[in-house]
Structure 1
Amino acid sequence: MVVDDALVVRGIVSRWLQEERGVEVVATHRSAKGGLDDLFRVRPDVLILDIEMPDMDGVTALPLFLSKQPGLAVIVASTLTRRNAELSIRCLSLGAMDCLAKPQTSGEMTSTNDFRRELIDRVRALGGRAVARARRQGEPAPPPIAPRTRPAVSEVLNDPAQRSGPPDNSFLRRSNEPLRVRKMPAIVPRALVIGSSTGGPQALAVLFAGIKPLLPRVPVLVTQHMPPSFTTILAEHLGRVAGVPCHEPVDGEHIHAGTIYVAPGGKHMKVAQSAEGPVVRITDEPPVNFCKPAVDPLFYSARDLWGNHLLAVVLTGMGSDGARGALAIAEAGGAVIAQDEETSVVWGMPGATAHAGACSAILPLNSIAPQLVSIVTGERR
């Protein structure tokens, strides 16, 4: 279901989705009220919800949608402003699973591939999750949708020839092979690095609420797949949860224990050694794994800087970003923990990390913080 008061947006987004194999647009509405009234009839797996609408905004409508259909996967879409970023983060705390920044104009909407790819990837990932959950609960599977004659846009855009960064995922074990877990290193880490994507803001809030005892001991660096403005608001939110300084760093900023550094949207965040100690490097290099910021650049550079004195966490998210960097950290003697499948919104990034053989532990979200505290404080469990 697509709920957006802009006719052009409803039309373009619906057309994109209808071109995808296995995806069906069951309804479009110009108002939240229309979508709510139609919810029981169409029972969508995924809702794309605009924030700014005249009759009822997305923040007000979201809890109503979730109360009428618990488990509905909601993607909040809004234009890129600070106010909308604040509202989007608010929606994530209310139960939305992801947020996207819409192009500012209809012209940009029709000419950009980035928003189209991001939207379709999320619909597929969250829709697949909803269908799998329904099957586990014994609900009938939806009827098959006839394949379309032209290739889906996700097949075109995910072609390795159009991908920034290494396209080969042969380093991953096959999904039917048993996961191999490494022994937890005994070395006390000097830094904590974290990567996340879809479902990440909610997971990060849970994580930071539980790791307060370790924060004065190490710096924490976070790459969350989000656009500019959204990462600024996310950093402010996480700082309030953690009770320590948390911000988007500038290039060359010195890294200190007791501070959380969040990669700015639209840039990559790395770390490096300077004459005065570790510093942040903010770069404008091409996307990696279609992502900017991406997790792999942070993980590789942290491995180079801290070696085996490094602790990495891969939380919920689509794709495999972070898996290569996590494997590099593990092979250098550092520790890697991934969120488990059951508690992940999407078990893409943590699943890829687990199948790469990088993990010393694969844990439910609520179990990760106690494990991190014990590792950093030296009180191993």
Structure 2
Amino acid sequence: MVTGTSGATAAATAQGTDSLRVMVVDDSVVIRGLIGRWLEEEQGISVVGSHRNGKLAVDDVDRCEPDVIVLDIDMPEMDGMTALPLLIQKRRNVAIIMSSTLTQRNAEISLRALSLGASDYIPKPESNSEISTSASFRRDLTAKVKTLGARRRQRLGLAQPDFGSTNAAPGRPAAPAAPASARAPAAAATLPGQSGASAAISLRPYSSVRPRVLAIGSSTGGPQALQTVLKGISATVLRSVPIVITQHMPPTFTRILGEHITKATGVEAREGEHGEQVQAGRIYIAPGGQHMLIKSIGGTPTIELNDGPPVNFCKPAVDPMFESITATYGSAILGLILTGMGHDGAQGVKMIAGAGGSVVTQDEETSVVWGMPGAAAQTGMCSAVLPLDKIATTIETVLKGGRP
């Protein structure tokens, strides 16, 4: 691992010239050491800089040329929020992952950082001992670094790092094909910015039934995408149906996300509560750490919070929510998959399509990560794959009972 400014070139050479270049910025020497060691143990990653505050990182970023920066929020001399715009200004399109302990203040700051150009965030366990023993923190951090770094390289047309896996590229997993019995008449669509086997995506017609619910799944890049889409839909249409959202987020973050969406749209958005009846005109967000299902109780759509195990390594997860609403709303469902890592939601997309509903997904070019929407699109069960700025208009048209 490189500490300060010495040895960066040697480290990169040792891992290979196409290795993902990562800078770690944290005021704790223990945390810097742990994260640096974890990342260097991964094939295809080189830690090219390790700094105790934002000022040192800003001063060194031109020389290190990182693809990814793991940036702590609370640091002396220059904190992460002050350093964030300076790092982005100096290093075009760098992927910055904000790192902070799980407090209400830091959750608010992390979400604000996304609006200022950070790519993602990761909550740290409270103590150094918890961090050193947390397999999930290590796994999540490594996955975010690989996915966001590879995505940056792809957008700039640079060589991709070799992570030593034969699977799909990080953030772009292939979803298994839907069974033939679930397929509707489909048309092939060529998506912008794609080539090869992934260029042709089969699309199915929209449902002939007007939706009675809008169900959304999102992850990395989701908070900003959600606000962009929901702000683009008129308040009258937003209030015409209930909106249920599963965004991959830890506790505390989801409550604050609801506050941000409420301010952006003027429509009440908050965490769903167990046993709460689902009503038009409200936006329900799955609470961090719990799956949110929509069940029919006495003929009324009702929220059920589930503390079961993670699904697709996620809790809350999109698939359980999507699967649960099919039994409640049948063909009167409009689903939406926005930017995110992994393939959560792909199985639920098949369930919605199998029940006769419709699904729209975000396209690759405008996604921070085309994992979830890509996996959904590759099922052949979606009705449209659209850039972010076109989604709101389409959703509004469909919710009004029209067809784009």
TM above 0.5, yes or no, is yes
Task: Give the ranges of 4+ consecutive aligned residues of structure 1 lying more than 6 Å apart after TM superposition.
Answer: none
CA distance in 1, matches of 2:374, 2:291: 23
Match of 2:4 in 1: none
1:92 to 114, 132, 155: 114
Please give the secondary structure, in 1, of the residue aligned with 2:292. strand
1:14 to 31, 36, 39: 36
Whether the 8 Å contact between 2:119 and 2:368 is mirrored in structure 1 is yes
Please give the secondary structure, in 1, of the residue aligned with 2:347. helix
CA distance in 2, matches of 1:100, 1:353: 25
Match of 2:348 in 1: 325
Match of 2:17 in 1: none
Match of 2:176 in 1: 170
1:259 to 275, 282, 289: 282
Cα distance, 1:171 vs. partner? 3.1
Residue deviations 1:181-221 (CA, integer Å, cap 9, x gap): 00111211000000000110110110111113421110000
The correspondence of residues 27-42 of structure 1 with structure 2, limited to 5 A, is: 27-42=49-64
1:225 to 248, 254, 257: 248
Whether the 8 Å contact between 1:172 and 1:355 is mirrored in structure 2 is no
2:98 corresponds to which letter in structure 1?
A: V
Residue deviations 1:231-282 (CA, integer Å, cap 9, x gap): 1111110111111111002100111111000111111000111126111111
Match of 1:164 in 2: none
Change (3 A) 1:379 1:226: same
1:171 corresponds to which letter in structure 2?
A: A
Match of 1:134 in 2: 156
Whether the 8 Å contact between 2:290 and 2:306 is mirrored in structure 1 is yes
2:261 corresponds to which letter in structure 1?
A: L
1:122 corresponds to which letter in structure 2?
A: K
Whether the 8 Å contact between 2:177 and 2:380 is mirrored in structure 1 is no
Give TM-score, length-normalised by structure 2: 0.86
The correspondence of residues 104-183 of structure 1 with structure 2, limited to 5 A, is: 104-135=126-157, 141=159, 169-171=175-177, 175-176=197-198, 178-183=200-205
Please give the secondary structure, in 2, of the residue aligned with 1:192. strand
1:190 aligns with 2:212: yes
1:53 corresponds to which letter in structure 2?
A: M
Please give the secondary structure, in 2, of the residue aligned with 1:26. strand
1:103 aligns with 2:125: yes
Cα distance, 1:170 vs. partner? 3.3
Residue deviations 1:145-165 (CA, integer Å, cap 9, x gap): 7x8xxx99xx9xx9xxxxxxx
Whether the 8 Å contact between 1:175 and 1:355 is mirrored in structure 2 is no
CA distance in 1, matches of 2:121, 2:262: 20
User: Quick one: percent identity of the two aligned structures?
Assistant: 49
Match of 1:380 in 2: 403
1:216 corresponds to which letter in structure 2?
A: R
CA distance in 2, matches of 1:175, 1:358: 17
Cα distance, 1:291 vs. partner? 0.2
Residue deviations 1:118-162 (CA, integer Å, cap 9, x gap): 111111110101111222xxx5x48x77x8xxx99xx9xx9xxxx
CA distance in 1, matches of 2:115, 2:198: 34
Q: Give the number of equivalent residue pairs.
A: 361
Match of 1:205 in 2: 227
Cα distance, 1:42 vs. partner? 1.0
CA distance in 2, matches of 1:273, 1:123: 40
Please give the secondary structure, in 1, of the residue aligned with 2:304. strand
Change (3 A) 1:276 1:176: closer
Whether the 8 Å contact between 1:59 and 1:90 is mirrored in structure 2 is no
Match of 1:334 in 2: 357
Match of 2:331 in 1: 308
CA distance in 2, matches of 1:16, 1:9: 11
Cα distance, 1:55 vs. partner? 1.3
CA distance in 2, matches of 1:358, 1:205: 25
1:298 aligns with 2:321: yes
2:177 corresponds to which letter in structure 1?
A: F
Cα distance, 1:332 vs. partner? 1.1
Give TM-score, length-normalised by structure 1: 0.91
1:45 aligns with 2:52: no
| Cα root mean square deviation, aligned | 2.2
1:73 aligns with 2:95: yes
Cα distance, 1:321 vs. partner? 0.2
2:250 corresponds to which letter in structure 1?
A: P
Please give the secondary structure, in 1, of the residue aligned with 2:204. coil
Please give the secondary structure, in 1, of the residue aligned with 2:244. strand
Match of 1:241 in 2: 264
